[in-house]
Amino acid sequence: MNEKATSTSDFKILDEIIAQSSIQPLSLSPDRDLITSFQEIGNLVSEKTCNQQIIDCLYHTIEIILSAQLENFPENIFWDFDLMVLHMLEQSLSAEDGAIVFLDSFGQKIVDLMNIFGCRGKIRFRYVHDFMYGFDWARWVKKDPENRSHVQPFNPIFLDYLLAKGEEILNLVRVEDKRYHHISRGRFRNSFCFPRNPEDEYRLLTYLADSNMIPVAAWNWNTYPIWDKPFDEMREQAALAIRNS
């Protein structure tokens, strides 16, 4: 880790990293077009803690996660980080003396997920939307709400589940499974019944956000994730309605 102390104002460097990339950092928020700047997120962090060691480690953890996402999901459309950063911070503060160990471990898990599921590997999903906006998490909670409803979408328990799921999918790819078979580079995997090219994905997700059909409003620092709605069914119905409109 860089030994230089990181002021929360230095979070603007993360904005510069995005500015130097080829992406347009769109937000899924119905109230704005672009994501909350990391400089603004840094200001929110400073309202939660003045622990310089945690601020340093949080900054560097966000940096490696952002770099992994840019590398593995360059065609991602929506780039909201607000809620992930808040949950990272809250969990690190709860860990007290284990805060730095937690953040280091959390960052590595997210990077591993990006490497497994992204375009540089064998699974080759195009977007992180299902993870960041909670569709994967809501589906997981609904399978065992009694034991899982207390687990937040950016909790290591859920991240470990996704890592195990990734390994399962990789094994299916190796044996040329009917659903998860090998695909060539330059193509993206779509395991859903509706198209997910960029135009369709943009229209569908913005419609869902406008209609309050997103499990995790990742653009909102003050939101609370929702799992107990039929999000998959609503998304499929919305996709069909949009195609027929």
203 inside domain? no
Which has the higher per-residue pLDDT, 243 or 15?
15
Q: Note whether residue 231 is domain-resident.
A: no
Q: Count the Cβ atoms, other than its own, within 10 Å of residue 15.
A: 17
Q: pLDDT for 52-92, tens place per residue?
A: 999 999 999 999 999 999 999 999 999 999 999 999 999 99
Report the alpha-carbon distance of residue 244 to residue 142 in Å, rounded. Answer: 30
In a domain, 245, yes or no: no
Tell me if 239 is assigned to some domain: no
> Is residue 184 included in any domain, yes or no?
yes
pLDDT, residue 50, reads 92
- 0.75 cut: is pTM over it? yes
> What pLDDT score was predicted for residue 3?
44
Domain that holds residue 24: 8-191+217-226
- Kindly report, residue by residue over 145-166, the tens digit of the pLDDT: 999 999 999 999 999 999 999 9
User: Is 90 exceeded by the pLDDT of residue 4?
Assistant: no
Determine, yes or no, domain membership for 32: yes
CA–CA distances in Å: residue 187 to residues 8, 119, 171, 239: 39, 9, 19, 21
Q: Is residue 97 part of a domain?
A: yes
pLDDT in tens, 100-134: 999 999 999 999 999 999 999 999 999 999 999 99
Tell me whether residue 145 is in a domain: yes
Distance of CA 160 to the CA centre of its chain: 14
How many domains in the chain? Answer: 1
The count of C-alpha atoms lying within 13 angstroms of the C-alpha of 241, restricted to the half-sphere facing its C-beta, is 11
